[in-house]
Structure 1
């Protein structure tokens, strides 16, 4: 795999010249158990010095994760829906938390998710809700604070720092996987160009640079190219000007 990083390094040089700082965070989805892939994710996190917010599917989370996460402070557990189960009809995009079932069933699942992971991880749990497929109805968003959540994380640059009263919005911005095609690495030059454009939008004031720039990964399905690209992208960003590790927090 050959990647031309020059457009990104040129953009990072502009950040350096303007003495700008880039807040950065990393989210990885779909954890349920200890696996060799999770070992690799944790090792990469340690080597890069960037913690991973590990989105765990509550219904299927296995007890073996408790000691594993407890021994690795670089892994920060968050709530990934309830069962990662699609309730949308065949003609709509997959979702677990849009209005395809009664609201009391939906609120029951968001409450069960945080309750089960609090039982497993206690105060290690970050009260962040990550809806599967990054999709959630606005009406459901309004229910999250009452269930104990303080952060909502989906995808693309946020339009507001708060998703609802008492609920911060902190999204992810780059996913290296080609989900609609090969399910391998998306075109790396396109990914570099997209990252560069997202940073340019921040530098020029079209996007909110107070929102940590989020890298989204899915360790269970990575091939070698995805692992390599993720490592190299984080390496470039971490060695760019004014990098700030920004743990997502409620405002």
Structure 2
């Protein structure tokens, strides 16, 4: 892997005294697995927390017990059932307007309630819609349900898509979902990361938004693990500063 393009960009950030808030989100957790143990081990070694997007309907007791013992794992809400409710001619989604809005918000509320019951104060009130897709009408309902953050993908257009709700997205996913389902070509990922950082530095994107790396521990092969570790290490050695969110739901005491 040729990291020189990214290193050149990171050197500019260092020279200009810029800092990069860096965060890590990993999706689709429901149980304790060997892959989750590997994720947690990597998180500890990097000293970078993982915001673990948990599917509320299917989360089991083993996952709850394991997360309780892992301070670097921060549970967040990953939809309700991770069930595709879109028609066959549309991209997969669970929280777009393919059913009554009241039913959609009820599922988002159920997700928060169940994980709050399971994880208590450890739960971060972040809503992660499956497949990173959510209707704007649903986004506007999230603060009233108790959410403080919504997280999808690509650089955010605005900091607050609804009053009282912050958008904190992911920006790099190393998996080739539409092809091999293995690691995207490393040179392409390095170039993509470099371009994303340059856009921030040159004010084409929000430099204050935490830069998010998205992983899916259940489907990683060794190449994906290796690239993820190397990327995060280089960012943290450069201008990267570990970012984690632990806001309490609306109405909860501080």
Q: Is 2:61 aligned against 1:63?
A: yes
Q: Is 2:243 aligned against 1:246?
A: yes
Task: Determine the structure 2 residue equivalent to 1:14.
Answer: 12
Task: Determine the structure 2 residue equivalent to 1:122.
Answer: 120
Conservation of the 8 A alpha-carbon contact between 1:212 and 1:248: no
- Give the number of equivalent residue pairs: 247
**Alpha-carbon distance between aligned partners in 1 of 2:99 and 2:124, rounded to the nearest angstrom:** 27
Of 47, 51, 54, 2:52 maps to 54
Q: Is 2:82 aligned against 1:89?
A: no
Task: Determine the structure 2 residue equivalent to 1:200.
Answer: 198
Deviations 1:55-98 (A, max 9, x none): 00000000111221111110000000000000001110000000
Long gaps (5+) in structure 1: none
Task: Determine the structure 2 residue equivalent to 1:237.
Answer: 235
**Alpha-carbon distance between aligned partners in 2 of 1:159 and 1:108, rounded to the nearest angstrom:** 27
Structure 1 residue 248: Cα displacement: 3.5
**Alpha-carbon distance between aligned partners in 1 of 2:21 and 2:40, rounded to the nearest angstrom:** 21
Deviations 1:117-154 (A, max 9, x none): 00000010000000000000000001111111000000
**Alpha-carbon distance between aligned partners in 1 of 2:174 and 2:243, rounded to the nearest angstrom:** 21
Conservation of the 8 A alpha-carbon contact between 1:45 and 1:74: yes
Structure 1 residue 17: Cα displacement: 0.9
Secondary structure at 2:161's aligned position in 1? Answer: strand
1:101-250 mapped onto 2 (5 Å cutoff):
101-241=99-239, 243-248=240-245
Please give the TM-score of this superposition, normalised by the length of structure 1. Answer: 0.97
Secondary structure at 1:25's aligned position in 2? Answer: strand
Task: Determine the structure 1 residue equivalent to 2:252.
Answer: none
Task: Determine the structure 2 residue equivalent to 1:100.
Answer: 98
Task: Determine the structure 2 residue equivalent to 1:34.
Answer: 32
Long gaps (5+) in structure 2: 248-254
Pick closer, same or farther for the CA change 1:123–1:249 going to 2, 3 Å: closer
Please give the TM-score of this superposition, normalised by the length of structure 2. Answer: 0.96
Secondary structure at 2:152's aligned position in 1? Answer: coil
